[in-house]
Amino acid sequence: MTPPPPPAAAGFATVADVPTAPESPAPGTRPAGRPATGGALVLAGMLLVALNLRAAVTSLGALLDEVRDGIGLSGTTAGIATTLPTIAFAGLGALTPWLVRRFAPARMLVAGMVVLVIGQVLRAVTDSAVVFLLTSALALAGIAVANILLPMLVKQHFPHRAGLITGAYTMTLTAGTAVAAATAVPIAHAFGSWRAGLGVWAALAVLAVLPWVPLARRARSPRAAAVTAGQSPARIRPARTRLGWAMAIYFGAQSLSGYAIMGWLAQLFRDSGFQPEQAGLLLAGVTALGVPIAMLMPTVAGRLRTLHPLVLGLTVASTLAYVGLALAPHGGALLWVALLAIGQGAFPMILAAIGLRARTPEGTVALSAFAQSAGYVIAALGPFLVGVLYERTGGWTAPIVLLLVALAVQTSAGIAIARPRHIEDEQ
C-alpha cells in the first residue's frame, strides 16, 4: 500500500526486457505505449501523496505515550490504535477496485487526501478516546485508497518508466515515514502539545490535494469512457489465480516482518544494553538506509528477466540480520541494521512486481488491491505475535524464530512470483 514524469526521453530503460504483445487500451486510459498528458503534474501529485502515506502512522507511534496521557487511552485502546493501519489498509483497500470502476483515479485521490486532512485535524483536537479512534480510521481510509492507486497510476501514465517512477514514489514514502517519526516529538515540544505533533501533517495532505484538482476537473469516470469506447470494463479477479495468492502472501509476510521491526526493534536494542536514544537512532537507521534502496530496487527489478536473484538476495540479508540479532545484538548492531535495511527492500520490490505482473491498469489495480488487502491482514499479526512471545518468554529468541518462519514463507511465495507472467493470463 505512483509518480509519473513527462513523456519518455532517451536514456531511460524499459520496465522489462521481455517483449509483450501490444494491449488494447483499457476504458478510460491511454494506450500502454504513450504517457498521459500532464505527466509532470501527475508526477508531482504522486510524490506528494506518497509523502503522506505513513506520516499519520509514524507520528502517532512517536507520540503514543503523550496521547495516552492526554486523552486517557487505555492499554487496550492504544493497542487498537496501533493496529488500525493494517486493518484499515486491508479492509478499505479491498474496496478500491470497485471505486475505480466508478470514479476517475484523480477524483479518488482528491477525496482520499481531503479525508486524510479531516481525519488528522479532528483527531488532533478531540478529548475523546472513541472519537480519536474513529477519526484515525477516517484518516487511514484516505491512505488506504492511495496505497492501491499509486501502482495503477504508474502503469497508466508511465508504462516505460515504471521502475524509475515506482522507485521515486517508494523512496518518497520511506523519506516521509522517517521524517514524521523523527520530527513529531520535537514539533510537539516546540508547540507545547502532542496535538501539534499530530495535526501538523494535515498541512502536508493539503499540499497533496492541489496537483490533483485540475486533473480531477477534466477526468471522466471509467464507466463514461467505456460507454464512449463501446467497451465493458475489465474484471480481473486475482483471488482466483495462483499468482494473486503468491503476491498476497509475499506482501503479507514482508509487511508482517516490517511492522514487527518498526514496533519492537528499539526495545530489542534497549534490552541488549543501549540507551533509549541510541536504540531509537538504530531503528531510524533502518528507515534511513532504506531510502536509497527504495529508489533503486524497482529499477533493478524492472531490468531483470526473473526476480529470483532479488528474492534470494533479500532473504539472505534478512536471515543474517535475524541470526545476528539473536546472537550478538549489541556488538554487531550497525551491521544488523544495515542488513535489515537491505532485507526490507522486499517492500519496494513487491510494489514494482505488482506492475510487472499485470498488463493493464485494470489488472494492476486489481492485483494491487488484492495483494495489499490480503497482505495487511497477515501483517497485522506481526507486532501482536512478537509482543506475545516476548512477554511469555522474556527474551528475543522466540520472536526472532517467528520472523525467520515468516521469512521462509515469504521466500517460497517470492519464488512463485519471480518468473515473468501476468495476472490477466491466469484468469
Domains and CATH numbers, the chain: 34-233 (1.20.1250.20), 237-427 (1.20.1250.20)
The mean per-residue pLDDT over the stretch 24-34 comes to 41
Q: How far apart are CA 410 and CA 319, in angstroms?
A: 12
Residue appearing with cell numbers 489488472: 363
Residue 15 confidence (pLDDT): 31
Q: How far apart are CA 371 and CA 381, in angstroms?
A: 16
Per-residue confidence at 222, pLDDT binned at 50, 70, 90?
low
For the chain, give the percent of residues with pLDDT over 70.
88
- Confidence at 97, pLDDT banded by 50, 70, 90: confident
Task: Give pLDDT, residue 11.
Answer: 31
DSSP 128: -
CA distance 112 to 198: 18
As a whole number, mean pLDDT of residues 350-354 equals: 92
- pLDDT tens-digit profile of 64-74? 888 888 998 88
pLDDT band at residue 338 using 50, 70 and 90 as cut-offs: very high
Quick one: average pLDDT of 32-59? Answer: 79
Does the pLDDT at position 13 exceed 50? no
Lowest mean per-residue pLDDT among 82-96, 146-160, 211-225: 211-225
Residue 213: Cβ within 10 Å count: 13
**Is residue 281 helix, strand or coil?**
helix
Cα(60)–Cα(125) distance, integer angstroms? 14
Answer for the pair 368, 354: CB distance below 8 angstroms, yes or no. yes
Q: Measured on CA atoms in the order 139, 90, 110, 368, is the torsion positive or negative?
A: positive
Mean pLDDT of 175-198: 90
Q: Is 354 exposed, middle or buried (0-12, 13-18, 19+ CB in 10 A)?
A: buried
Average pLDDT rounded to a whole number, residues 367-384: 88
- To the nearest 10°, the Cα dihedral for 350, 260, 379, 112? -80
Confidence band, pLDDT 50/70/90 cuts, at residue 270: confident
Q: Rounded to 10 degrees, what is the CA torsion of 231, 235, 241, 245?
A: 140
Q: H or E stretch including 172?
A: helix 162-191
pLDDT tens digits for range 127-137: 999 999 999 99
Mean pLDDT, residues 130-158: 91
